[in-house]
Structure 1
Amino acid sequence: MPTIAIVGADPAALAAALEAATVRPCCPPEPSGGVGLVLGAASPDDQDPDTRFGASCGMPLLREAAMRSPTYLHDLLVATLFTEGLDAEMDLWALGFSAMWVQGADLGSLARTFHLDLATRTPCHLSEILDHNIDDGSTWVAEVNGWIGVVPAHGHGEFLCSVTEGGRQALGLRMDITGNAYFEYARDGRMVVSFDPLSPDDWRRSGDDPHALDRLMDGLRFEISDDDVRDNPVEDPESISSALALIGRVTETDIATDWFLARHSRIRPAS
C-alpha cells in the first residue's frame, strides 16, 4: 500500500495523489434482506450509508481511503485551514474549530438561524475562510447531497438540537482550547448520539440512542484505552480523522473532495 506524505503538502496535491493511489473496486451486491439503520429516513433511498456504499462506485473512494493514512482527514483539514502566515503552534483545538452539517433545511432558513445575510454570498474555498472570518465575520457555507455544511458553527448540543426541529437531522464536530472534542448527531429536536471522538467509550456516550451510529463506525478507530490498541495507540489526529470519516458516511459524501477542497460560499453576518 503506498504511503503519502501529508504534513506541509498542498491540499489539492494531496487529494490528487490519494485519488491516483485509490483502487476503485466493483460495486458489492445490494443487501438481499433485512432493514438497515435508518437515520430519520422515510424511504429506502434515505437508509443509512452502511447499506448503500455500492451506490458510489466509479468515484474516488476517499471516504474509506481516509483510513489509508489514519490521520489523513485531520491533516488535510489542518493544511486547508492554516496558511503559512499563521502561528506554527496553531491547531484545531487552539482555533476552537467547529462545523455543522444539516439535512432537511433550506439555505434561507439556516441563514436566519445563523444570522447570515444571503445578499453577501460570495464564492469561497474553505482554505480562504479564516482570513475572511477575521476580517468581516464571514461564515463558510457549503451544499452537497442535500446537506448544508457551516464553518464555523459555534454552538453546543442544545443549539444543534434546535436546528433539527421539524424533522431535520444534523451532525456537529467541535473542539475547544482545553483539549476537548465533541461529536454530536441530532434528529427532530433531540440528541441521538453524543460522544468524545478521542474516547467514545460507553461512559462518555449520551443521547437517546448512544449506539445508533455504531454500524457506521466499522474500520474507524477512536479508543485509546482498549487492550486491542495498546500496541498501536490511537492518537488525537486519528480520532478526529475517524470522526470526519463517520460524518462522510452519514452524509454519503466525500469529506475531502466534496467539502474541504471544493469551492462553495462565504456569507457575512446580517447587520
Structure 2
Amino acid sequence: MSDCIDIDLVANAGVLVRGGGLGLLVDGMHDQDGHPFGRVEPDDMARMGRPEGIFERLDYLLFTHEHPDHFTPDLVAGHLERRPVKGVFLPAPAREPEGRARLVRALEERGVPHWTMGPEPGGTLSVSPEPGLTVTAIGTRHMGKQFQDVRNDCLLVSLMGMNLLFTGDADHVPEYYEEALKDVDLDAAFVNPIFYHNPNGQAIIDGIFRPLELVIYHMPSNGRDPFHLAFTVKRALQRYARPDMPVHVLDAAAPHVTICPAVL
C-alpha cells in the first residue's frame, strides 16, 4: 500500500525506512568489529552506492550515537563520493575523532545539509528538511553504567503523517521521554532487546510510548550471541505479549516489516 512505510533491516540497529518517495537510513553505515552485532556487509554498501534494490532511494542518513556498531564516519564519507544525499543527521559527539572531522569536512565541501542533534537528556531538537518529513531528536543517555557519558538521540521520524520512534541504545529512564512524547501518537516504536526485557522499559512502552506496534531490533547476528539476547527476547515475548500491541522481531529471519496508518 502506498500510504504505508516499509522498514528493512540492514544490520544490527541499521534500518532503511521507505515511504512518501523517500529513503531514510538509520544507523545503517558501520563496518567496525569488536562487538557481537553484525556489520553492514560490503555488498550492501555497494548496493547503496549504485543505487540498487531497496536502496533505489537513499535521501537522508540518520545516526543515534557514536558507537561503532551504529556509525562509522569514514564509511559515510566514502559513500558521499559515490552518491549524493539530501541531508545527514549527526549525533552528539562522544569525543572528537578524526573520522568525524573528516566527515564534516566532506559534507561541507559537497554542500550537503547536515545537522548535529544531541539535545540534553529530556530535551528535543526538531528539523524539517522538506515538506512531509520532520526528524526530532529526543535527548537520552546510553543504557549501561559504563556508557552514561555517551549521549544517545532517540529519533522520532514523522513521515507521511506517521510517527516512528527509533530508540537506538537509549536508557529506560521515564524522564527522558515524558515531556517529549506527551502529545505524540506513535505508530511504531523500535527498541532493543534489553529495553524490551527490562520492567522499566516495559513501563515506558506501556505508559509513555503507547505505540500501535512495537519492533524489537538491534538483534545479534547469527552464531554470535554471547549475551543470549535471542533467548532473552523469546522469554520476554512470552511474559509481556499483549493482544492490542503487535510486536515484531526484526532480525535475519524476518528482516522486513510494513507499518500502515491506523484504521479509524
The question of a shared fold, defined as TM-score above 0.5 by the shorter chain, is answered with: no
Which of the pair is proportionally richer in strand? 2
Q: Which has the higher contact order (CA 8 A, sep 6+)?
A: 1
Structure ID, larger Rg: 1
Q: TM-score, normalised by structure 2?
A: 0.30
Q: TM-score, normalised by structure 1?
A: 0.30
